[in-house]
Amino acid sequence: MAPAHFSSFELLLLKSRYQPDTAALLLLAWVFVNKRVVLDEDRHYLEALAHGYRHTQDLDTLLAIAAGRNLTDIQLAAEVLLHEWVDEQFLPFLCRAIGLATSDGVLSLRNHHILRFLADLSGVGPAAFARLFREITGQPLATPDDPSRHLYWQENATADAPHAAQSDTDTSTVEKKTLWQRWHAKRQSARTRRQQAREKLHQRQARERQEEARRQTREQQDKERRKAYERQEQQRQKQERQQDTPGSAPPPHYRIRLALRILELDEYASRHEIKQAYRRLAQRHHPDRFYGQSDLRIALASQRFQRIKDAYDYLMQNA
């Protein structure tokens, strides 16, 4: 089996503690090597970033990779950021790139297009990018020349990129256009996926709100049923008390028949049958059998059990 061959940048990614830092540093180095005038402070800025990213020893390697015009490594770095970063992490990176590209007061033609590529990678539209550029530099963002012209890169090769090789200009035009189109399509796809994820989240939240509303409705209905049942019980007890008052009490046999009906017996039941019926019904309607069920069910069982016990006690005393 043939051994795998990795580029210098791929090897840096493999040993990196945090791959997005390595990818971001390469893209900033790409901006650095395409400046018209490179200032000492630009180099110091990159060295400070490399030190913070723990890539102090790798900065020269990254600068060489960026100056080598290997767009495969640039594409890989952009892909790492696109898959690892969230939207909030792109804006500070884009601000660093703008500041680095314009530190000498002049934006090179190459960096003009590089910054637009990074803005598209960051999900920043042209109008928002122009506003951000003005806020950082205090100058309007000029309209760039058309990079698709046949002589564009030859005309600006010397002025724009002193670190780049003249022989690479013709092939880099096609590569840059292809890279831009490819990543524009990937960025749109990523935005679509995020939008779909947000829509799914909103739908799930809407379903949860509907479930919560239904649950509250059921609880309210249960509460109303309990209140109605309690009112009925209070009315029944009031009627029983009125029947127990002197002058309005029914004949004695009436309460005996009522108690027998509660125990599901006829009026000729013996004391032995009364005891058996009581044990059977008490076991069936005891509240402990409904443990874990709704409060309404337990309350109904308790009240039913109490009526059975009262009927039994009355029959034992009067039957």
User: Who's near 252: CB < 8 A, 6+ residues apart?
Assistant: 318
pLDDT digits 0-9 by tens, 208-229? 999 999 999 999 998 898 888 8
Q: Is the pLDDT of residue 168 over 50?
A: no
pLDDT computed for residue 178 by the predictor: 63
- What is the predicted pLDDT for the residue at 213? 92
What is the maximal distance between C-alpha atoms in the chain?
A: 122
- Tell me the per-residue pLDDT of 267-304, one tens digit each, with 9 for 90 and over: 778 888 888 988 888 888 888 887 778 888 888 888 88
Cα angle at 166 between 45 and 28, to 5 degrees? 20
Q: Is 186 helix (H, G, I), strand (E, B) or coil?
A: helix
Amino acid at 44: H
Cα 292 to chain centroid, rounded = 35
Give the pLDDT score at 187: 65
The predicted-structure confidence for 59-70, as pLDDT tens digits, reads as follows 888 888 888 866
**What residue spans of the chain are helical by DSSP H?**
8-15, 19-33, 40-52, 59-67, 71-84, 87-101, 109-121, 126-137, 152-160, 169-244, 252-262, 271-285, 295-318
Whether residue 155 is predicted with pLDDT greater than 60 in this model: the reply is no
Enter the pTM of the model: 0.48
The pLDDT value recorded for residue 319 is: 60
Other residues' Cβ atoms within 10 Å of the Cβ of residue 283 = 10
Phi/psi class of residue 123: alpha, beta or left (left: φ > 0; alpha: ψ in -120 to 50)? Answer: left
Q: Between these two residues, 239 and 63, which has the higher pLDDT value?
A: 63
Q: Which of 164, 172, 47, 36 is nearest to 111 (CA)?
A: 36
The pLDDT tens digits of the residues spanning 78-114 come to: 888 888 888 788 889 999 999 998 888 888 888 888 9
Q: Which amino acid is at 81?
A: L
Q: What is the pLDDT of residue 166?
A: 42
Instruction: Round the average pLDDT of the chain to a whole number and report it.
Output: 80
- Whether the Cβ atoms of residue 30 and residue 66 lie closer than 8 Å to each other: yes
